[in-house]
Amino acid sequence: MKFGVSTFVTDEGIRPGALGAALEERGFESLFVAEHSHIPTGSTAPDGTELARAYYRALDPLIALTAAAAATTRLRLGTGVLLLVQRDVIQTAKEVASLDLLSGGRVILAVGAGWNRTEMRDHGTDPGVRGRLLDERLAALKEIWTRDEAEFHGEYVRFGPMRMWPKPVQRPHPPIYIGGHSPAALARVAAHGDGWFPIEVTPDDVRRVRGALAERGRTGVVITVPADPAGEGTLDAYAEAGADRATFHLETMPEAATLRKLDELAALAARYSG
């Protein structure tokens, strides 16, 4: 099983170039950067708790990952997750393809439908249709990336014949991971996903989803799980259930504190791997 890190990159923490270099030096396989464009005043987490500062101080993930790309040569560069229902799909296609080109084909695009309805509305997105909108935008991304002349005529996404370069280095396109663990998210994994990127999951969930995907002929889907730094037993259980990657959640901290924490996580990953 591979190991990565998921985090918010903000103006108050380690810079993304330094973070990427530190991860690569310590043997981590991937970096996943979270996204929120803004947080409407008064918003709380889904469980009603106060949101951390990182939610409203986050850098744009694609720009942050570009800085990480420039400081690394092997590290996989992931969004975790990109809120595609709040983004222009044509511009996003260009940005992701540009990053894939500049990084030499190292991008992983993990997307989610989002949970902050006020944030969505601020972008002109109707929360009630966000699932169907996400499906169409995913399909439109693939059209733009894989066709010299693309067009799309959906209920929510519409554009006539057009040309857009660069195309991604990875073919047919960067792997698309689906965030979330709802029935709708799991159906989206089966329909659109190259990977599953849940926030909360048990080894039994991994086993169940792996089996359901296999029944549909989707045997190559990459499953990424949140690592449990409390002990290696959970990581063993994830691996036995069929998980391909575990990501440690990294709190947003200044550079010195971040490097100390990465040393701890790298030691845990090394003990597990050994």
pLDDT of residue 271: 79
How far apart are alpha carbons 120 and 134 in whole angstroms? 12
Q: What is the pTM of this model?
A: 0.96
pLDDT at 230 (0 to 100)? 57
Residue 112 DSSP code: -
CA 3 to chain centre: 14
Instruction: Yes or no: say if 176 and 98 are a contact pair by the CB < 8 Å rule.
Output: no
pLDDT of residue 267: 93
pLDDT of residue 234: 85
The answer regarding whether domain 2-273 maps to CATH 3.30.750.24 reads no
Q: 171 exposed, middle or buried (CB, 10 Å; 0-12, 13-18, 19+)?
A: exposed
Is residue 252 a contact partner of residue 8, using CB atoms and an 8 Å limit? yes
The pLDDT value recorded for residue 212 is 92
Q: Please list the ranges in the chain whose pLDDT falls under 70.
A: 229-232, 273-274
Angle at 60 between CA 57 and CA 65, to 5 degrees: 120
